Amino acid sequence: MKLLAAALLLLAAAPAQAAGLTVRLGETWLFTVKNGEPAQARKVTPSAKIPKGQIKVSARSLLGTAMTITNNSPVAYTFKAELLSGGKATVGRSCTLPSGARPAFEQWEQKADAVRISSFKIADADGRC
C-alpha cells in the first residue's frame, strides 16, 4: 500500500507534458487542429502538398529563428508560439494565421532549437499582427 501511495505521489509531482507541436529547426510538419491543439501531426518533406483542412509548418535558423506556416482550411487562427532553447521556453509574438493556403512568415531575433505551437483559436478573417 505504501508503494502505491509513493507511486501516485511521484506521478502527481511529475511535470505535465506541454501541449502543442514542437518543430525542431530543419523540420516540416503537417497537422490538423482539434480542440485548439495540433492533431494527427506527421513529419513531411518541405515540398509536401498541403491537403484541405491541414496546416504545414517548418522552422529554420534565419536571423535568429524563423517559421513558415500555411493553413489550407477556410478558418483563420491565432495561436501561441514558444521558442525553445536550452530547456527554456520563451513566448514569441505571432500573427494571425490566414485561411485559404496563404503562407505566414514569423521571425524572431532569438536563436532557438525549436518552436512549439499550440492554443489555436478561430480568428476573424482580417487578422492581426
Residue 78 lies inside a defined structural domain of this protein? yes
- pLDDT tens, 105-125? 999 999 999 999 999 999 976
What is d(CA 84, CA 91) in angstroms, rounded to the nearest whole number?
Answer: 9
Q: Model pTM greater than 0.95?
A: no
Grid cell locating 108: 524572431
Residue 86 lies inside a defined structural domain of this protein? yes
Question: Would you place residue 18 in the very low, low, confident or very high pLDDT band (cuts 50, 70, 90)?
Answer: low
Residue 92 lies inside a defined structural domain of this protein? yes
Residue 117 lies inside a defined structural domain of this protein? yes
Count up the domains in the chain and report the number.
Answer: 1
Residue 46 lies inside a defined structural domain of this protein? yes
Residue 9 lies inside a defined structural domain of this protein? no
What is d(CA 44, CA 27) in angstroms, rounded to the nearest whole number?
Answer: 8
Report the CATH number at residue 84. Answer: 2.60.40
- pLDDT tens, 43-102? 999 999 999 999 999 999 988 999 999 999 999 999 999 999 988 988 888 889 999 999
Residue 81 lies inside a defined structural domain of this protein? yes
Phi-psi region of 64 (alpha: psi -120 to 50; beta: other; left: phi over 0): left
Which domain covers residue 41, as residue numbers? Answer: 17-123
Residue 3 lies inside a defined structural domain of this protein? no
